[in-house]
Amino acid sequence: MVRTLFLLWLFMLEQQSRYMDALSKNRSCVSFGSNALTEGLEHLQGLILEDGRNGTIQCPHNQCCFGIWDLNQGQLQAKVQGCWISEKEACDSPACEFRSSAAITLSCRCHSDLCNANISYAEPGKKPGKKSGGSEVREEMLSGTGGGKDGGGFMGRQLSKLWQGTFGQQPVAIKVFPPLCHQQFASEWAVYSLPLMNHENVARLVTAGYGGPSEEHCGLLVLTLYPLGSLRNFLSHHICSWDISIRLGSSLARGLAFLHEEKRKEGLHKPGVAHRDLSSQNVLVREDRTCAITDFGFAMTLPLRHEQSRKDPAEAIAGAQRYVAPEILDENLNLQDVGSALRQADVYSLALVLWEILMRCSELFPENSIPAFQLAYEAELGSNPTYSELRRLAVEQRRRPIVPPAWTRFGQVAISLQELLEDCWDPEPEARLQAECALQRLQRLGTEDLVHFLNRTLPGHCQSGCVFISVIH
């Protein structure tokens, strides 16, 4: 039964992917009443592109058409039409449809040329016809990024599930969001769909849409498959060499720096993005042992440097508790500059994940004494710390995961490693490194040959017969 349903959903997504492909080209939309921007934002909570004329407008990549109408005694009157992009909800229909007959103000979002010229409505509960196709889903769950140890967060999220399948002859991971997680699904889809979001250290979206056997359709994200799974799963089963550890860490920092960066190219604009839920569970490992950041259900696009955020301050609290920055645990986030504050909180999370990576590095521990994988703060607080325990440890006591004394034998390298971690998890958010700076430091550390350094500084130690167990090269 499960396999049949997924076959059906994948076929529907293959049809929808044609529309996703079309988003890479300019979209023609009807433009009317462009001075009514305030009303548009009130109804759609999106970004409306202002245009000085009525008629048609060319919308940049990744934008949809929208429209708002008043319904008065059975007559529709257009109030505003134009281009729209949402940070909150997906624009998944090619037609301008409104599924209610009780409202007096109707709105729609659609993604085909001039689709917002008119609006149609269907009675609540109507379902489109469905067809099956030639996609394949294996009846097996992946070692996913949505569950496992320490999966809980502040917002009581119901976790998504991951399945493996094929889509257009390509192996994929299918992330299925239950109906109660619609907001996270829409947020994640919106982030993946931002202009200029393609990056080797960010998981790649193949397509997305809705599907399901009942009225409560699930949100579906189809992602490139990363067979090695999450970074947490990878570190649990592998000990890594110095080179691989630095490769994992620097690629993770590179991906985060890319997310935080504003980017403009050929008229397109990628805003800065705060992940807000960075952990070793929400990072995937590529076959070349580099990282790809995923799980953008709590991500937030950031205001320009000179702008104030329009976000609700309550939305600042998100993510798995273990990796949440002290200023968020203490409810003391700087909401006057929320863009910088959320970037700094991400860097704190980055430091904890870097610590987890380095704790599985063979060359940093003598005589094969590499400890078993542990999450940050697991030694201090166990596998399921409470909010109050984390707050007491990270905020009141200002403690951080222990840097092992064994690292000190590497002299300046050890000093640089400890400084990197301390400068990323500093109690004062403004004192933390930017992700780009953390990347640069990791790249410099990557030029060090630890085995050569150890042999040179400690003659007679580990010069022969030194075997590191299960080291990944």
Read off the amino acid at residue 224: T
Nearest one of 371, 368, 384, 423 to 400, comparing CA atoms? 423
Spacing of C-alpha 415 from chain mean position: 32
The enclosing H or E element of 397 equals none
Read off the amino acid at residue 355: W
Give every CB contact of residue 112 below 8 A, 6+ residues apart in sequence: 19, 22, 65, 94, 95
CB atoms within 10 A of CB 322: 24
Distances from the Cα of 56 to the Cαs of 112, 114, 266, 329, in angstroms? 13, 8, 21, 48
How is residue 374 written in tokens?
Answer: 């542990």
String of DSSP letters for 66-124? EEEEEEETTEEEEEEEEEEEESSS----SS-EE--SS-SEEEEEE-STTGGGS-EE--T
Rg (CA), the chain: 24
273 bridge partner residues = 301
Q: What are phi and psi of 14, to 5 degrees?
A: -65, -35
Residue with tokens 């529907």: 12
d(CA 451, CA 441): 20
How is residue 111 written in tokens?
Answer: 């993604």
Residue with tokens 């203490």: 330
Q: What are phi and psi of 49, to 5 degrees?
A: -85, 120
Nearest one of 176, 180, 174 to 216, comparing CA atoms? 180
The catalytic residues are: 277
